[in-house]
Structure 1
């Protein structure tokens, strides 16, 4: 038994709360993971985990060993970076989650640069329209739009975007341009409904914040379809600015209600708390921050 590998495996099991989740991430069978943890417990002469058919809980010895294991792995990572002075290159698989259109527009086109820089790092992009349970799904980091409600996650702000209300010139020529949010009642709104219910549109004018409950014939939970619907002259949408940055620049769509734009939306790299930051994850977060800073629609 390689003790460092066993400790790393134990920390991952505790972080995920599941033998099977770790096994899926590593591409091995669950019995292999269970066998490694059992061998570690036998070596230490103490039970680390209490197993039931539904859950895993740490024993008192397990809690102490977990905290020590996290520190040990973090110290080892830091020592390798210091001593290697760049010779120990980051390696391994980074699993990251992004919303589908954002990944297609802003991440995938720049990955070639990342792989040239870090040829031993592979990237697995998992698309989801909401922030997944990073620990249960074995995700190293998520690229998240907006405020973070889960206090157990560590967030680093790496970009920001305005929230815009847009339509095509053809739609506005046919239906007129709203001058205030209340006039949206006379327009066809393209509705984003991520969990079945339409998301309310927020505005902020000189008299403070106001909201609008969008109404329209078309709703979807997919940002790509929002883009397509706007470009097909179906109506007005209220979205993060990055979704239409190139179309706004080219004039293919036009922002409206610009005097009522709400505060900019933060874009953060979020990761599970309580675990060491692997160099492969750190360099990927740094890379994302770097490429977003180069884009006027995302720069801080």
Structure 2
């Protein structure tokens, strides 16, 4: 496929809109152009490239193989243009605008969200788009700007920083402990309702390796939830003993450790963002905020841990 020249930029913009909408009419509405004008631009692009970009049918337009290749290129171009625009706006106008942050549902709901008010106090014009899911979003492809991940990122073109280490542990409420008593051995744990992620739920390997033997034991009753926020709410409502990341304990003094000698191996927490956003002031503001919060959290956790040990 020949490379599009500089005169084709407008055609590429229109092609991207049509491919995204799957319709000449809808693309025209989004671009404020008539359907015939959009159609002429697409035909002109197809003629200049010497390929067919769309299959036409009664329900709309479907990309051909060549069209899919061009659409991948325009998606990448658009994301890079958005990144460049963000960097220009950052340097010229200060810290404001949209920042897409991705992390797991558990870390996002249980640790990050309760602390975001301090970030907004410092930067009230920042717009955070928080994407909470277990799927690892592609940062170089700009599915997100910044990620907090429960393992070291594997891509080479990312700036990364190890923030802290997490362990999975057992917790119950003080109310549950007073009413039901707490197990002192793994065998006694089987007489309590265990609340965990299901083994098939997407999760980090260290947490899964740790909990599987407990799930294999014969419990009279069990509850599985597909995220840690649900597990925490179940524990808080005294449904049983839950498997949770240890970072919940500092913000939940009503919880107590169960079988303190039992915990998973270390799960590292990393902050990562694309190399091309290294100079972004918005990314730097979020990074510095997270580092401050993590530093404070570690100090408080260590003090709490020392007090408990005493």
Matched residue, 1:292 = 294
Note the 1:30-179 alignment, pairs <5 A. Answer: 53-54=62-63, 88-100=93-105, 102-128=107-133, 130-134=134-138, 139-141=143-145, 143-147=147-151, 151=155, 154=158, 156=160, 157-179=162-184
Which of 224, 229, 241 is 1:219 aligned to? 224
TM-score (norm 1): 0.60
Contact 1:245–1:297 under 8 Å retained in 2: no
Matched residue, 2:305 = none
How big is each residue's C-alpha offset from its partner over 1:246-268, in whole Å with a ceiling of 9 and x where there is no partner? Answer: 22xx3x22112222322332222
Q: CA deviation at 1:124?
A: 1.6
Aligned to 1:260, what secondary structure does the other structure show? coil
Q: 2:119 & 2:292 partners in 1: Cα distance? A: 11
Matched residue, 1:277 = 277
User: What is the CA RMSD across the aligned residues, in angstroms?
Assistant: 5.1
Q: 1:106 & 1:146 partners in 2: Cα distance? A: 13
Q: CA deviation at 1:145?
A: 4.6
Q: 1:184 & 1:177 partners in 2: Cα distance? A: 8
Aligned to 1:237, what secondary structure does the other structure show? strand
Q: 1:68 & 1:231 partners in 2: Cα distance? A: 47
Matched residue, 1:191 = 196
Contact 2:95–2:125 under 8 Å retained in 1: yes
Contact 1:141–1:269 under 8 Å retained in 2: no
How big is each residue's C-alpha offset from its partner over 1:97-119, in whole Å with a ceiling of 9 and x where there is no partner? Answer: 34445434433444344345445
Q: 1:193 & 1:145 partners in 2: Cα distance? A: 20
Which structure: greater helix fraction?
Answer: 2
**Larger-gyration structure (1/2):** 2
Q: Which moved more, 1:66-75 or 1:279-288?
A: 66-75
Aligned to 1:229, what secondary structure does the other structure show? helix
TM-score (norm 2): 0.58
Q: 1:175 & 1:94 partners in 2: Cα distance? A: 46
How big is each residue's C-alpha offset from its partner over 1:99-142, in whole Å with a ceiling of 9 and x where there is no partner? Answer: 445434433444344345445532122333x1354469964245
Which runs of no fewer than 5 residues in structure 2 stay unpaired?
A: 1-5, 32-37, 56-61, 303-310
Contact 2:140–2:158 under 8 Å retained in 1: no
